[in-house]
Amino acid sequence: GHIVRNWKVRWFVLLQDKLLYYKIEGGKKESSPKGRILLDGCTITCPCLEYENRPLLIKLKTKTNTDYFLECCSREERDSWALDITGAIHAGHPVQVQELHRMKNSFKLLDNISLHDIVERMYDSSTGIKLTRNLDQGNRYKETFTGSALVDWLISNSFAVSRFEAVTLASMLMDENFIRPVGARSTEAMRFSDPSEKFLDDSTALYMFAESGKKNTSSKEEVQFNISELSGTIVKQGFLVKQGHKRKNWKVRRFVLRADPAFLHYYDPTKEENKPVGGFSLRGCLVSALEDNGVPAGVKGNVQGNLFKIITKNDIHYYIQASSKAERVQWIEAIKPLT
């Protein structure tokens, strides 16, 4: 809001030259818009890091210097809106559109610089990147740096001239296994095939040198699994977000669905060892999609959309979020025959 700086749900409609937003009443948008953002002369910032606890922001600054902060529900949605809004801003300026495409496809590492040189500079005790301890969803990591810190460092050391180039360069470092993601935010981004989306220019995304020591985790009782339940044929696997049973927070997990015997296991993608951190038999389970309007009973936190629930025969409830409706349908259809 412009007067009271609170956050409100609005229904947005993107037109060729403006962005309209509507008030939501009773789950439906009103017939007339609450306001509009004229896109002529606008500048867009995505990701916008001005609110550290809101990593899914887009910032629009109009030519009259009015700032709009828009928060999306997922990273995919944020990037999709940013791309479409950027296209609308430049729609009347084909030369600028061509320049955007040229910049995206033209970045190459300087001939006199190698990735090894960059990593050596990063390690330098006086001029290298600053390493800190970070806590992410209960896990404590030593000697990490954030995605935005690495982008800043690459630009300040003249390895890149823009944040886009720095993100591309950081993706190269990750592809060549010089650095690796740790923590939920950065690990989740590895699902994307586009190199520019794998590395996050974000103050909440954590990375570390690939050869650095393993993280220190709080001591937990190790979950034991019978060898037979891990011997089934893998039917489906992929990354989903799961609500915890105790803290009720949401974490990215790699799920593996097996048949004969039918089990669903989930793994912590930040751990190098290939051991499940949880799992259960699917025999006698119930699986169903949850409504996308509002927060369903049993779900904690501001998580909405693409949710489904699995209830085991021992009446344990698992709440899981897929990245899209199509992915949710695929998982439910794969699980149901095994229950």
Nearest to 72 by CA among 91, 85, 90: 85
Q: Are residues 162 and 181 in the same domain?
A: yes
Q: How far is CA 113 from the centre of its chain?
A: 31
Across the range 251-260, mean pLDDT stands at 90
The verdict on 244 and 278 lying in the same domain is yes
Query: Could you give the percent of the chain with pLDDT greater than 90?
Result: 16
Mean per-residue pLDDT of the chain? 79
Residues 96, 26: one domain?
yes
Position 108 confidence tier, pLDDT thresholds 50, 70, 90? low
Residues 138 and 178 in one domain: yes
Query: Which positions ≥6 away from 164 have C-beta within 8 Å?
Result: 103, 104, 107, 196
Q: What is the pLDDT of residue 193?
A: 47
66 and 88, same domain (yes or no) = yes
Q: Report pLDDT for 298.
A: 67
Asked whether 312 and 230 are in contact (CB, 8 A), the reply is no
> Identity (one letter) of the amino acid at 25?
E
The pLDDT value recorded for residue 215 is 36
- Mean pLDDT for 277-305 is 79
Mean pLDDT of 204-230: 60
Domain-terminating residue out of 83, 104, 125: 104
On the question of pLDDT at 139 being above 50, the answer is yes
Separation CA 58–CA 96 (nearest Å): 20
For residue 193, being part of any structural domain is answered with yes
Q: Residue 250: which domain range?
A: 229-336
Q: What are phi and psi of 6, to 5 degrees?
A: -105, 175
Same domain, 124 and 195: yes
- Indicate whether 216 pLDDT > 60: no
- Residue 200 shares a structural domain with residue 257: no
Predicted TM-score of the model (pTM): 0.37
- What integer is the mean pLDDT of 266-282? 83
Rounded to an integer, the average pLDDT of 252-257 is: 91
Confidence bin at 192 (pLDDT 50/70/90): low
Q: What is the CATH number of the domain that holds 271?
A: 2.30.29.30
Q: Is the pLDDT reported for residue 74 higher than 90?
A: no
Determine the average pLDDT of the residues in 95-121. Answer: 61
pLDDT grade, residue 150 (50/70/90)? very high
Q: How many domains does the chain have?
A: 3
The whole-number pLDDT of residue 186 equals 82
Give the mean pLDDT of 108-117. Answer: 65
Domain shared by 99 and 119, yes or no: no
* 221 inside domain: no
Q: What is the pLDDT of residues 238-253, one digit of tens each?
A: 999 998 876 677 888 8
- Residue 110 in any domain: the answer is no
Q: What is the DSSP string of 190-242?
A: TT-SSHHHHS---TT-EEEETTSPPPEE---PPPP--GGGGSSEEEEEEEEEE
Closest by CA to 72, choosing from 93, 92, 88, 51, is 51
Question: Bridge partners of 115?
Answer: none
**For position 141, which CATH number holds?**
1.10.10.10
Q: Given a cut of 60, is residue 223 above it in pLDDT?
A: no
Q: Are residues 82 and 133 in the same domain?
A: no
Residue 214 lies inside a defined structural domain of this protein:
no
**109 falls within a domain:** no
pLDDT of res. 305: 81
In a domain, 224, yes or no: no
| Amino acid 185: pLDDT | 77
> Between 176 and 169, where is the model more confident?
169
Would you say residue 220 lies in a domain?
A: no
47 assigned to some structural domain = yes
